[in-house]
Structure 1
Amino acid sequence: MCFYDQNRMACGDYKWGHFRQHCSKEYRTGETCGMRLVMQTIEIGDKCRICQKIDTKKRSIRKEEEKIKRWNRESGRRASIEKAEEDIYRLQQEIYNLECERQSRQHQLW
C-alpha cells in the first residue's frame, strides 16, 4: 500500500501521478508493494485523452451534418451525401466504443 498522487481530470477520470511514500509492508529499497493508495488528489482542468477524442469526433460529425444540409440545397450531390452519412455512422460507432472504454476505466477503481 504505497502512496501516490492522483491526477483527477475535469471529466472525472483520473491517472496516477508521482510516487510519494513507501508503506510499511515493503522493506526492499526502491521497490513498491504494488498496491496504490492516494496521497493527495490534484485537480487538472483538462479532459482526459478519451474525452478529447470524443469531442474531436463530435466536431467532425457536426461538420459532416453541415455539409449534408448544404448539399441537400444543391442538386446532383447524392454520392457525396451518402459518403458523408457513412462517415457520420462510422464516427458514431467510434464515439460509442470510446464511451464504453471510458465507462470500463471508471468501474475499474471500484
Structure 2
Amino acid sequence: MCFFDQHRFACGDWKWGHFRQHCAKEYRIGETCGMKLIMQTLQTGTKCKLCEKIDTKQRRRAAEVDRISRWQREGTKFRASIDKSMDAIRNLDSEIYELTCERSRRLQGIGYQSSAHV
C-alpha cells in the first residue's frame, strides 16, 4: 500500500502520478509493494488523451459534413468527392464509437487489458 499522486482530468478520467511514500509492508529501497493508494489528488483542468482524440475526430467529422453540404448545394458535379467524404464519415463514426466505449470502460474501472487476460 504505497502512496502515489493521482491526476484527475476535467472529463472525470484519471491517471497515476509520482510515487510519494513507502508503506510499512515494503522495506526495500526503490521498491513498492504493488498496491497503490492515493496520497493526493491533483486536478489538471484538461481532458484526457482519449477525450482529446474523440474531440479531434468529431471536428474532422463536422468538417466533412460541412464539405458535403457545400458540394451538394453546388450540384451533382462532386458526386465522387461526396461519396469519398461519406465513407470518411462512416469511418470516423466507427472510430468515435470505439474511443467512446474505451473511455466508458475506463470510467467504470474495467480495464481493457485485464478483461482480455481473464
Whether TM-score is above 0.5 comes out as yes
Q: Which moved more, 1:6-15 or 1:69-78?
A: 69-78
**How far off its partner does 1:12 sit?**
0.5
Q: Which runs of 5+ in 1 are unaligned?
A: none
In structure 2, how many angstroms separate the alpha carbons of the residues matched to 1:103 and 1:33? 29
Matched, 1:48 2:48: yes
Q: How many residues align?
A: 110
Within a 5 Å distance, the mapping from 1:1-110 to structure 2 comes to: 1-75=1-75, 76-108=77-109
Secondary structure of the residue that 2:66 maps to in structure 1? helix
Structure 2 residue runs without a partner (length 5+): 112-118
Q: What TM-score do the two structures reach when normalised by structure 1? A: 0.95
Q: Percent identity at matched positions?
A: 58
Q: CA deviation at 1:109?
A: 6.6
Change (3 A) 1:109 1:33: farther
Distance 1:50 1:106 in 2: 11
Structure 1 counterpart of 2:68, one-letter code: I
Alpha-carbon deviation of 1:43? 0.1
Residue deviations 1:59-87, cap 9 Å, x none?
Answer: 00110000011000112111111110110
Q: Distance in 1 between matches of 2:85 and 2:13?
A: 32
RMSD of aligned Cα (Å)? 1.3
For the residue of structure 2 that corresponds to 1:42, the secondary structure is strand
Runs of 4+ more than 3 Å apart: none
TM-score, structure 2 normalization:
0.89
Letter of the 2:6 partner, please give it.
Answer: Q
SS in 1 for 2:108: helix
Question: Closer, same or farther in 2 for the Cα pair 1:30/1:20, shift >3 Å?
Answer: same
SS of 1:28's equivalent? coil
